[in-house]
Amino acid sequence: MLASLAIVGRPNVGKSTLFNRLTGRRSALVHDRPGVTRDRRDGEAELYDLVFRVVDTAGLEEAPPDSLAGRMRAQSELAVEEADVVVFVIDARSGLLPDDERFAAWLRRLNKPVVLLANKCEGRMAEAMAAEAHRLGLGAPIAFSAEHGLGLADLHEALSPHLAEREPTPAMEAWEESEGAEDSEEEEAPGGPIQLVVIGRPNVGKSTLVNRLIGEERLLTGPEAGITRDSIALDWEHKGQAIRLIDTAGLRRRGKIKDGLERLAGADTRRALRYAHIAVLLIDATQPLERQDLTIAESVVEEGRALVLAVNKWDLVEDPKSTMAEIKRRVEQSLPRVKGLPLVTLSAKTGRGLPRLLPAVVQLYEAWNRRIATAQLNRFLAEALAQHPPPAPQGRRIRLKYMTQIKSRPPTFALFGNQADALPESYLRYLENGLRQAFDLMGPPLRIRLRGGKNPYADRER
């Protein structure tokens, strides 16, 4: 296990910027507005020859325990309790505030090594103000700039006695720009944990569901809509299957988003979806399958991710039979490209129906990864053509010659023949439905690429 470092401090002192600097990627949202971070986020960090686990926390604020700010502080205190070393960040530009002194007094009472970091020390004035920090009683402050990477050597020296070293590794990865990923025929390497992302509209119970699955109050929850802003990834195991469980911010229609921070949170959710394997779309049973739910589901299918529809708050439904019939009708009508979509009813609050969710995820993951031999596919194609030949547009019959699978995740097939690109959508749906039935591919999205010209396998078959 790696040693753990917790980053704490008032809101808007640069904790998330420091987290991104140490992990080498822009995974934590950063904004000028105070209080952007609400949940704990952790990641593996490297600082020269040191390697450790770093935890970003919400800003420390004095607030009643039952308030949102109070619950955020409780999460931060838990992170400090679990950490091996604490980095206390102050804002050198604004100087010491009463909250800094109160939280410093709290940290002094803990039996933890604390490193004091005076962030935003880019100018001489800030450096002079950092000197005030001596009176916090936490030792000499490190003059630092998380945004520009100034002071990393001093931070390394302060952390070395508390964190493990390893052999030097290549420089930290460049900060990743996550927008603009393109669809590719390259297949992702198999293996590793299932990347399972929980998505949906705001306030449908996504964080409550994740907490219930892992069996602890790891994520901040409450009656307020839009609590989650960052996409938080948690490593977990279910019956021997490794799962990387990702909670995300709620997605609203773009036209309703007026706030820049909400736009950033939405982009973070879409990035999490892009790297996921399975998406659990959580909907509210009391407001089932609204237009935005269907928009989110369509985006999951477009990304080629496998989709599980989870209906939360099922214990509040007065007429389950008619509600379920209406949900199935809307799914069939609005998502015709995804046949056999797994549908699980549950209550994240009580745990009712939860044992059915993970088996559905694992079964869908296996179908999403399935590979089918070319010989089997061509036997299927011959039978499908015999039962229902393709049409003959303008009197010229379409001749389909053979089919092969070019990738999985999602299952993608190449269909070769003369005038293959003239096949109508209805015939492609016929072939797709036949593939699902013949090879147990109910649930994941399927893709059929139409190809013409010479058989690239002809030389091999001679």
Q: pLDDT tens digits, residue range 306-318?
A: 999 999 999 998 8
What sign for the dihedral angle of Cα 170, 175, 177, 178? positive
Tell me what pLDDT residue 355 has.
92
Helix (H) or strand (E) holding 404: strand 399-407
Q: What are the pLDDT digits (tens) for 194-207?
A: 999 998 888 888 88
> Who wins on pLDDT, 131 or 74?
74
CA 140 to chain centre: 39
In whole angstroms, how far apart are CA 238 and each of 135, 195, 256, 357, 362? Answer: 49, 13, 37, 11, 10
- Burial status of residue 342 (CB atoms within 10 A of its CB: 0-12, 13-18, 19 or more): buried
In whole angstroms, how far apart are CA 167 and each of 23, 50, 85? Answer: 17, 9, 21
Angle at CA 283, nearest 5°, toward 446 and 287? 130
Q: How far apart are CA 331 and CA 410, in angstroms?
A: 20
CA atoms within 13 A on the CB side of 202: 16
Q: What are the pLDDT digits (tens) for 34-61?
A: 444 556 778 888 888 888 988 888 777 6
Tell me what pLDDT residue 172 has.
34
Cβ–Cβ < 8 Å for 403, 414: yes
Q: Residue with structure tokens 């600097």?
A: 21
Q: What are the pLDDT digits (tens) for 380-412?
A: 999 999 999 888 777 678 888 889 999 999 999
> Who wins on pLDDT, 72 or 170?
72
* Residue 86: pLDDT band with limits 50, 70, 90: very high
Cβ–Cβ < 8 Å for 277, 253: no
- Please give the mean pLDDT across all residues of the chain: 80
* Residue 217: pLDDT band with limits 50, 70, 90: confident
Q: What are the pLDDT digits (tens) for 123-149?
A: 665 666 666 788 888 888 888 888 878
